[in-house]
Amino acid sequence: MPNTALYSTLKVLGSPLLQGLYHHDVVGLENLPEGPYIVASNHLAFCDSIFIPLAMPRTVNFLAKSDYFTTPGVKGRAMAAFFRGVGQLPMDRSGGQKSQESLNAGAQVLKDGGVIGIYPEGTRSPDGRGYRPKVGVARLALETGVPVVPVGQIGTDLIQPSGSNRIRLRHDGKPIQVRTIIGKPLTFEEYTDGSDL
């Protein structure tokens, strides 16, 4: 899926701005495969969904919680337009058919050669520890046969501490450093015969 105009603009403007506010160190770009893949990252703060796309050379279409697209009123419509404009897809986390339809939209992006971003735990970690993942990443990987690229985010929780909407520029009087660590892609051919689930 190509960059939208809004995605491209925000990336061009946002990268130098955030690099000036926070030192953003990206490790492992050489691990990114050609073709479609799934970015599976830990989730410490809302701004993970900003720093990860800035780190990646291609558009990352995140599966974002459906609340971002269904909030009523003018504010809700503006929010939905923004998230669609930056290539995010609504993810219904209620389970069953609705969740499957959301995953189907992500699978279509992968089948079209794009990149999907997903947080395996389904939500932000309240304390930085990893919690039991949901099955979305596994279903997408097995259904489409694309590799999963593990990504680790470090430092974004210092920008947006858990339970707070406040944005911090420094921590303990020091500049905040954010690291995006890209691991080697994982493939799962041995677990599927190549047919759709």
Q: Tell me which of 139 and 93 has the higher pLDDT.
A: 139
Q: How many CB atoms lie within 10 A of CB 148?
A: 21
Select the more confidently predicted residue: 194 or 75: 75
Summarised one tens digit per residue, pLDDT across range 167-186 is: 898 889 899 999 999 999 99
Number of separate domains in the chain: 1
Say if 152 falls within a structural domain.
yes
- The verdict on residue 129 lying in a domain is yes
Looking at the predicted structure, is the pLDDT value of residue 197 above 50?
A: no
Instruction: Name the band, by pLDDT with cuts 50, 70 and 90, for residue 153.
Output: very high
Please provide the average confidence, as pLDDT, over all residues in the chain. Answer: 84
What range defines the domain where residue 18 resides?
5-191
Half-sphere exposure of 160 (CA within 13 A, CB side): 16
Residue 184 token pair:
């080697």
Cα–Cα dist 14/95, whole Å: 34
| Selected residue with higher pLDDT from 14 and 38 | 38
Task: Give the pLDDT confidence of 111-135 residue by residue, as tens digits.
Answer: 999 999 999 886 666 666 666 667 7
The verdict on residue 196 lying in a domain is no
Does 197 reside within a domain?
no
Lowest-pLDDT choice from 6-15, 45-54, 177-186 = 6-15
Judge if pTM exceeds 0.85. Answer: no
Residue 34 lies in a domain: yes
Question: Domain holding 116: CATH number?
Answer: 3.40.1130.10
Residue 10 lies in a domain: yes
- Whether the CB-CB separation of 134 and 122 falls below 8 Å is answered with yes
Q: Tell me, what amino acid is at 111?
A: K
pLDDT at 137 over 70: yes
Asked if residue 71 has pLDDT above 70, the reply is yes
Q: How far is CA 176 from CA 27, 136, 181, in A?
A: 17, 32, 16
Q: Is the pLDDT confidence value at 193 over 80?
A: no
Question: pLDDT higher for 98 or 32?
Answer: 32
pLDDT at 126: 62
**Residue 76 within any structural domain of the chain:** yes
Would you say residue 150 lies in a domain?
yes
Per-residue pLDDT at 80 exceeds 90 = no
pLDDT at 60 over 90: yes
- Quick check: 17 pLDDT over 80? yes
What integer pLDDT is reported at residue 16 of this predicted model?
Answer: 87
